[in-house]
Amino acid sequence: MDVKGRVIAIASGKGGVGKTVLSIGLAHALAEAGGTPLLIDADLGLANVDVQLGLPAAADLSDVMAGRIALPQAGFAHPAGFRVLPGRSGSGGMAAMGDAGLAAMAALLAEARLQHSHILLDMGGGVAPVQRRLVTMADTVLIIATEEPTSLTDAYAVLKLLRADRAGADARLVANLAGADGGQHVWRTLDTAARNFLGQGVRLAGAVRRDARVPDAIRHQAPLLTRHPNCRAAEDIRALVAQFTLATAA
Ligand SMILES: Nc1ncnc2c1ncn2[C@@H]1O[C@H](COP(=O)(O)OP(=O)(O)OP(=O)(O)O)[C@@H](O)[C@H]1O
Ligand SMILES: [Mg+2]
């Protein structure tokens, strides 16, 4: 495990491609692997990590940022071994976050790095300036995409803006809702565009297969790795986290 926590942003541009599912699954799998992850719901407009997990209301990200509560006391310790810092859905507060808010977020992440092995940021959809600034704070940005052309286009936009904002940023693709090719088509499409137009390709972090157990877990407001620990999507998520837990992790 990293000594100083690694901040991993989960972004996509397009909504509804599996960011929250994968953020929760990655936090869970990292905890299984011996980590001490913190999952932050950084969806600025429509936070819903707590809804997918069926958690009651608690002091949330905006309370920590405003200094109303200390980070270790906010949010929840999930029984699966990770902490969750919920967002506040519909408040608009985070969406309107200016320079002071971004500075508070940077301070929060600096503190979280000292307390957690990994800090996962479940980003909302879109590429508004605040979201762009937030992803540049991450050590690694996982860009989630599916085979849908709209998803690929938006994933490319996220990558392009990230490279413009922070040259050399560590961006990796995760192909979700993948079929038998293990995300190869999604990766080749994005990688080719990135090579041709951005001068640098993109690495494939992994693929998570389409699995009916995923919506089933959401309907039951239970983590996928608890409800269906051995389903194929859970296996894929565990394979994905290995690159962040092995001693040789890059
Ligand atoms: N691997 C998968 N297999 C089957 N269904 C999936 C998979 N990943 C995600 N889904 C489905 O896609 C839907 C959207 O997932 P999720 O809420 O994680 O997306 P999101 O990117 O966080 O959306 P938003 O942008 O609204 O926050 C879920 O309801 C889930 O059922
Ligand atoms: Mg989401």
* Whole-number Å distance between alpha carbons of 121 and 38: 9
pLDDT in tens, 84-99: 999 876 665 556 678 8
Under DSSP, is residue 174 helix (H, G, I), strand (E, B) or coil? Answer: strand
* Whole-number Å distance between alpha carbons of 139 and 1: 15
CATH number of the structural domain 6-244 = 3.40.50.300
Could you tell me the distance, in angstroms and rounded to a whole number, from the CA of residue 202 to the centre of ligand 1?
Answer: 23
Tell me how far apart the terminal alpha carbons of the chain are, to the nearest angstrom: 11
- Whose CA is closest to atom 12 on ligand 1? 18
What is the model's pLDDT at position 62?
86
The domain spans of the chain are: 6-244
What does the DSSP 8-state code read for residue 71? G
* Whole-number Å distance between alpha carbons of 148 and 138: 26
| Cα–Cα nearest to 174, from 203, 154, 137 | 203
* CA atoms in the 13 A half-sphere facing the CB of 102: 13
Name the residue type at position 26: L
52 CA: nearest ligand 1 atom = 17
Number of the ligand closest to the Cα of 220: 1
Q: Is the pLDDT of residue 2 over 50?
A: no
pLDDT, the chain, mean: 92
Q: Is the pLDDT of residue 103 over 70?
A: yes
What is the model's pLDDT at position 124?
85
The mean-pLDDT minimum among 17-31, 110-124, 235-249 falls in 235-249
Measured at the CA of 43, the angle between CA 68 and CA 96, to 5 degrees, comes to 65
What is the model's pLDDT at position 140?
98
The radius of gyration of the chain's CA atoms, rounded to the nearest angstrom, is 17
**To test ligand 1's pocket by mutation, which of 214, 227, 232 has the most ligand atoms within 8 angstroms of CB?**
214
Q: Dihedral, CA atoms, 202, 147, 229, 215, nearest 10 degrees?
A: 140
User: For the chain, what percent of residues have pLDDT higher than 70?
Assistant: 94
DSSP annotation string for 159-201: HHHHHHHSTT-EEEEEEEEE-TTTTHHHHHHHHHHHHHHHSS-
Tokens at 224, concatenated: 């996928």
208 CA: nearest ligand 1 atom = 1
pLDDT in tens, 145-173: 999 999 999 999 999 999 999 999 999 99
* Whole-number Å distance between alpha carbons of 23 and 47: 13
- Whose CA is closest to atom 2 on ligand 1? 210
Pocket lined around ligand 1, Cβ cut-off 6 Å: 12, 15-21, 43, 124-125, 176-177, 208, 210-211, 214-215, 218, 233
